[in-house]
Structure 1
Amino acid sequence: MQQFTSENREKWDKPEYWIKICEHLSVKDNSQDAKYETDDAFWSHSKNYKLDLLSKGYALVDQSLPNELIVALREGVEKLVEASYPASFIFLFDETWQLARYSRLLLEDFTSNPFHYDLLSWYIDKGGFSPHRDRQPEHVASSFHPDGEAKFATHWIALTPATTSNSCLYMIPKDHDPGYTKGDEDKKDPLSLALPNKEAFQRIRAMPRDSGQSILFTHRIIHWGSIKDPEATPRAAISFVCSDPSFEKPYVDPTCFTDDQLPPFSIRLLLVCAQLIIYHQRFQLSKSMLKACFEFCKSMEDKLEKTYWHKVVFEFVEAMKEDAQTNELDESEEEEIMELMLKAEQSGYGEYSDDYDEGSNELEGGADAGDDDFSDEEEGTLLFRAASGCDDNNTEGSVENEKDRKRPRTK
C-alpha cells in the first residue's frame, strides 16, 4: 500500500500496475469483450424473490453464480489483500463487472430499481461487525414504493463459503422488527426493540452461503456478522446495489455500464477511491492513501454525482480530523481542510464541529477503531445511524441530519 500515494499516481492510475498484482484478471479499458459470457437464462428458473423481499426484507438466492468467475474473483481479492490493498480494489477488473451483469439482471428482475454504484468488497480475516441498517432516512416511508417495495436493495455474493464460523450474515426478519417500516425511535436501541426478551432471540436468522450463492436484502433489514473463529478460513464477499433515483441517485453516469460495455478504468478507479473515503472507518488506511484517493477524486469531481461528491468531501475532512487527534497536521493540510469545510457549508452540505460523534467504528478486519464514552443504550442507538438515503429534495435522512456520521454498509 506504500506505493499508493499522490507522488506515485503515475503508477497506480494505470491498469498495468494492477494487472501485475492480479495477473489472472484483465483490465481492458472500456471493454466490450467478456471473458465470461452472461447467460440471460441463468435466472430463468429462479423463484419470485420479490415476494420474500416484501414479506421478510431479504431473500436467499441458492443458485450458484458461475464457479470459474467466482474463483477468479476470490483469488483476486486474496492477491490484493496480500499486497496490502483493501478488497474493494477488485472493482478495477473486467471480471468483477462481468459478475455485475448477473447481479444487475437479478436486481432489476426482482425490484423496480435500476443498478446503482454503491459497490464494496470485504475480506474478513479477524472479527465481524455490529448490527446496523444500510440506510436510515429521515422519512422512512418515503424510502418505499407505494406497493411496499424498498427503493434500495443489496445483492450480497459470497466469494468463499460464508459460515457461522467465519462471519456469515445474521438478520432479523421484517415482521419481527418494529422500526423496519415506521422508523426507529429516538434514544431507543432498535435491536432491543426487535429482541425484547429471551424468547425473541429465536427470531434471529443465520444466513450461511456457499461460494457463489447470494442474498438479496433491503436497506432497512437489521444485519450483522459474528466474530470469526480463529481457526476458520477468511470470508470474502462482494456486493452490488440497486436504488430508485428519487431515493439515492447513481454515483456516476449510469450509461458507463451497459449490456455492451464495461465502465472505463478511470471510472472504476474513481469509484474505488471515493468508496474508500466514504467508508474510511471500515478500512485500515494510511493518511497518505486517503489523501491520494481524495486528490484523484478531486481531479475527476465532474464525474461524480453532486451529492455523492459532497459526501466524499465531508468524510475526507472527518478522516483528517480524526488523524489530527493523534498526528499533528501541517500548515498546508490545515488550510486545505478549512477550505473544504467552508466550501461544503457554503453549498449547504455538511455542518462540521469539533465534537463529532464516533458512532460505530468497525474496521474491515472487524476490530473497533477506538473506544468511546457512550453507554450501552446510546451506543446501540448510534449503531443504527447508518448511511443516509436521499429524498427528492436531497435531504439527508438520519437522526441528526448531516451531523450524523455516514455509517454505511459493512459486511
Structure 2
Amino acid sequence: MMTVQQAKNADFWRGLNPDLHIDGTSEGACATGASRGLDIAGTGGDGVGFGVESATKPNLMREDVDYSQLSDRFWDEGYFLLHDVLPVAVLGQLRAAIERLVAARLPVAMIYLYDEAWQVFAALRPLLSHFLGDKIALLPHFWAWYVDPAQQGRGWPPHRDYQGQSAIDDDMLISLSLWVPLSDAIPENGCMYVLPRSFERCYDFPVTKPQDVALQDARALPARPGAVMGWRQDVYHWGSRASRFATSPRISLSLEFQNAAFDPLGDPLLDLERPPCFHDRLTLIAGQFEKYRHMQDMDEDVLVWSKEILSS
C-alpha cells in the first residue's frame, strides 16, 4: 500500500499513468490553493480549476442525440441508456489506467486524480443541460468500479442515490446520476439493473428493500464502452454479481450532478468545467472511502490512509 507522502505527490501518480494528465498538463501543478467550489451565479469566477488549461481537452460527445425520445423514456421509466456517444479510444485510456491501479494494488477511485476522468463528464454538458438546465453543479459524490469475476465481485447493492426529492412534478429535474462503462458491462460480469419507475408506480407500497421488488420487474442494462447511462437519483438500482466464468471485469465510472438553482445537495458543489486541483481532488477522493464503506467492503489500510489524508 502506498504511503501518505506518495499519495500527496502528483509526480507519483503521473509516473504510474504517464499518458494521463493532472491539472491540465503532465507538468501542471495546483498553484491556486484549496478549491472553493462552484460559483452558483454561473460565472465560475470563484471556482478553482485546472492549474493549466489542457491544450488537448477532448470534444467527446456525439452531437446527433434525439433528446425528445430520450426525455420520453426518462420521465416514464426514470433512466436512459445512450449507446455509442463517447469515443472508445479515450475511454480505453482510462480503462488502462484503472488496470494499472489494480495491478499496483491501489484503489480504483484514484482515477479521479486525473484530468481525463473529469473531462469525460464535462464533455456530456449538452446531455446534462438538457435535463438540469444551464446552471449545473457537480456534486462531491463519485466512484469507480473494477468488478473482478475471479473474485465473483459485485456492484453496489440495491439503493437510491438520494433519499430526498429528485424531481418536481415529474417535469423538472433536481439531480441526476451518470454512469459510464469503460469495459463491456453485461449480466455475466455484473451489469447495472434498475427498477423502472413505470413499474414501481404500480406497487401498493414504496420499495425500501430488495425483497419488495418483483423479480420480473428488474431490468438489466448491458452496455459497452461508448455508452452513457443516467437515472433520477430516486430510481432504485443496483450492480449485479459477476460470474467466475466471465471473461473480463466490469470497469466503470460515475458522478452525480444537480440543478444549481436548487439548494445544494452536497458540500462543496463543484464546477463541471473547472474540476478541483490535485490536492483538493485527493481530499475529495479520500472522503469517498468512508462515505461508501456501507456499500462495499473497504480495505482497512485504505480507510486508515484516507482518514490520515483528511486530517492532514
TM score, norm. by length of structure 2? 0.79
Alignment of 1:272 with 2:264, yes or no, is no
Query: What's 1:95 paired with?
Result: 116
Q: Which has the higher strand share?
A: 2
Alignment of 1:249 with 2:276, yes or no, is no
Higher relative contact order (CA 8 A, sep 6+): 2
Distance 2:137 2:205 in 1: 24
1:259-295 deviation digits (Å, cap 9, x = unpaired): xx44211121111111112112445544443233223
Q: 1:291 aligns with which of 304, 309, 312?
A: 304
Query: What's 1:211 paired with?
Result: 225
Any stretches of 5+ residues in structure 2 without a counterpart? 24-28, 30-50
Q: Which moved more, 1:214-223 or 1:243-252?
A: 243-252
Distance 1:276 1:104 in 2: 27
- Residue 56 of structure 2 aligns with an amino acid whose one-letter code is K
Query: What's 2:163 paired with?
Result: 136
Any stretches of 5+ residues in structure 1 without a counterpart? 196-200, 300-411
Task: Return closer, same or farther for 1:224/1:179 CA change in 2, 3 Å cut-off.
Answer: farther
Shift of 1:45: 3.1
Distance 2:255 2:213 in 1: 27
How many equivalent residue pairs? Answer: 277
TM score, norm. by length of structure 1? 0.61
Q: Which has the higher helix share?
A: 1
Task: Return closer, same or farther for 1:174/1:164 CA change in 2, 3 Å cut-off.
Answer: same
Query: What's 2:145 paired with?
Result: 122
Alignment of 1:169 with 2:192, yes or no, is yes
Q: 2:87 aligns with which of 66, 69, 80?
A: 66
- Residue 21 of structure 2 aligns with an amino acid whose one-letter code is S
SS of the counterpart of 2:253? Answer: strand
Alignment of 1:297-308 (within 5 A): 297-299=310-312
Task: Return closer, same or farther for 1:183/1:152 CA change in 2, 3 Å cut-off.
Answer: farther
- Residue 133 of structure 1 aligns with an amino acid whose one-letter code is R
Task: Return closer, same or farther for 1:34/1:202 CA change in 2, 3 Å cut-off.
Answer: farther
Shift of 1:247: 5.6
Shift of 1:72: 0.2
Distance 2:282 2:196 in 1: 36
Shift of 1:248: 4.2
Q: Is the 8 A contact 1:178 1:194 kept in 2?
A: no
Distance 1:283 1:86 in 2: 13
Task: Return closer, same or farther for 1:202/1:285 CA change in 2, 3 Å cut-off.
Answer: closer
- Residue 153 of structure 1 aligns with an amino acid whose one-letter code is L
Alignment of 1:230 with 2:241, yes or no, is no
Distance 1:73 1:84 in 2: 16
CA RMSD of aligned residues (A): 2.6
Identity rate, percent: 25
Alignment of 1:77 with 2:66, yes or no, is no
Shift of 1:214: 1.7
SS of the counterpart of 1:53? Answer: helix
- Residue 270 of structure 2 aligns with an amino acid whose one-letter code is P
Q: Is the 8 A contact 1:184 1:190 kept in 2?
A: no
Q: Which moved more, 1:267-276 or 1:108-117?
A: 108-117
Alignment of 1:14 with 2:45, yes or no, is no
Q: Is the 8 A contact 1:155 1:215 kept in 2?
A: yes
